[in-house]
Amino acid sequence: MRIQKAAAVIVIIAVVAAVFLAISNSKSRTNQGQGDKHMNAATVIIETNKGKIEVELYPDKAPITVKNFLDYVNEGFYDGTVFHRVIPGFMIQGGGFTPDGAQKPTHEQIKLESSNGLKNKVGTIAMARTNIPDSASSQFFINIADNSPLDYNPGNDGYAVFGTVTKGMDVVNAIAAVKTSSRGPYDDWPIEDVVIKKVSVKK
């Protein structure tokens, strides 16, 4: 009887150990997947007259978009441009105009990468475009709300998310709170310029 009880205890211990090991392995695989998700990420610093914003970019999810953005960064294209479109509760957009309202010439437009699984959630950065899907060039926006209507879905081309703000959402929100008006044909233009002083890759 004692032997049977001892054997039963051993079996129970073995089962518990096996379940614990399986759970641990599952968690390990999950955490590893999350860690590897953006293992090639690069970080850029958007320095504005309102403060600094750090953005992590995901070339594994949007390689064309990230390369295009970094090309502009490395050329100094964004330096001296402004956030020209600010809509509270929606997003802030910049990367194409100078303070005097002039639009900067850009490189060729790029292929839309909106079907990469990344969503337009608070703090994500995405490429602005026209109604034509493959029309993004230099302009980008930072979501200040969960903007699911901008996500890719069958029948909806969506907007390509390619990174997320990791530091400086207080700066993003400060920009979102500025007063706006119209400037020429453009609505939602900040009355006081929100200048992008410099964008650089974090070393």
Question: Would you list the domain boundaries of the chain?
Answer: 1-36, 42-201
Bridge-partner residues for 43, per DSSP? Answer: 56
Give the homologous superfamily in CATH for domain 42-201: Cyclophilin-like (2.40.100.10)
With beta carbons less than 8 A apart as the criterion, state whether 116 and 161 touch: yes
Residue 1 in this model has a pLDDT that exceeds 50: no
CB atoms within 10 A of CB 63: 14
**pLDDT band at 39, cuts 50/70/90?**
low
What does the pLDDT average to over 47-75?
Answer: 98
- Please give the pLDDT value at position 198: 98
Residue 45 in this model has a pLDDT that exceeds 90: yes
Residue percentage of the chain with pLDDT more than 70: 81
H-only helix segments in 37-119: 63-75
- Please give the pLDDT value at position 37: 59
Bridge-partner residues for 126, per DSSP? Answer: 141, 161
- Please give the pLDDT value at position 102: 96
What does the pLDDT average to over 112-135?
Answer: 98
Q: Which two tokens stand for residue 182?
A: 């119209």
What dihedral angle (degrees, nearest 10) is formed by the CA atoms of 30, 65, 110, 115?
A: 20
Q: Which two tokens stand for residue 67?
A: 């390369």
What does the pLDDT average to over 189-198?
Answer: 98
Structure confidence by residue, pLDDT tens digits, 138-188: 999 999 999 999 999 999 999 999 999 999 999 999 999 999 999 999 999
Structure confidence by residue, pLDDT tens digits, 136-149: 999 999 999 999 99
- Please give the pLDDT value at position 41: 86
What does the pLDDT average to over 84-91?
Answer: 98
What does the pLDDT average to over 128-138?
Answer: 98
d(Cα 92, Cα 198) in Å, to the nearest integer?
A: 17
CB atoms within 10 A of CB 1: 5
Q: Which residues contact 89 (CB under 8 A, 6 or more apart)?
A: 144, 145, 176
